[in-house]
Amino acid sequence: MKVLSEILMSVWLFVCGWQDFKEKKISIVLLAAGSILLISFSIAGGLPAISRLLGVAIGLVLLVLSKLLKGQIGPGDGIIVCITGFCLGFHDNLNLLFYGLTISALLSLSLLLLRKAGGKDSIPFVPFLFLSYLGGVFWL
């Protein structure tokens, strides 16, 4: 069951990341379908409710930041982190976010140093969550 949920999460994050990369937005249908499927599978996982709630809270913080920063953080990013938070729990979701932010910061710095992007350019974040998740599944 764990392997199946890891595969589902990987595929969903990949598809969301691809759409985020191509269109700089994520469809509601994709978010809803992923949340229903992933949450259904994760309920059998046995995580404590408090860990799930705190995991969701991480995504809620991103949603609040999205509003406060007027969209510099996409609301889709916050929704995805809410869903991963419910499925992974607090600690794993915090790791997912941390490593996703680290990878995106390294790429952003590289693009700035190579003068391929400027300070006002934006990059999609979900592809980095996907890479972070794969790293967690295969190496951690």
Is the pLDDT at 42 greater than 80? The verdict is: yes
Question: Residue 41: what pLDDT?
Answer: 85
Instruction: Write the burial class of residue 108 (CB in 10 Å: 0-12 exposed, 13-18 middle, 19+ buried).
Output: middle
pTM: 0.92
Give the CA angle between residues 101, 102, 107 to the nearest 5°.
Answer: 95
Q: What average pLDDT is seen over the chain?
A: 93
Residue percentage of the chain with pLDDT more than 90: 76
Is the pLDDT at 110 greater than 80? The verdict is: yes
| 70-99 mean pLDDT | 95
Is the pLDDT at 36 greater than 80? The verdict is: yes
Main-chain phi, psi angles of 125, to 5 degrees: -100, -30
| 20-24 mean pLDDT | 94
3 state SS for 120-133: CCCCCCHHHHHHHH
* Cβ neighbours, 10 Å, residue 60: 15
Q: Greater confidence, 78 or 118?
A: 78
Is the pLDDT at 46 greater than 90? The verdict is: no
Question: Residue 135: what pLDDT?
Answer: 94
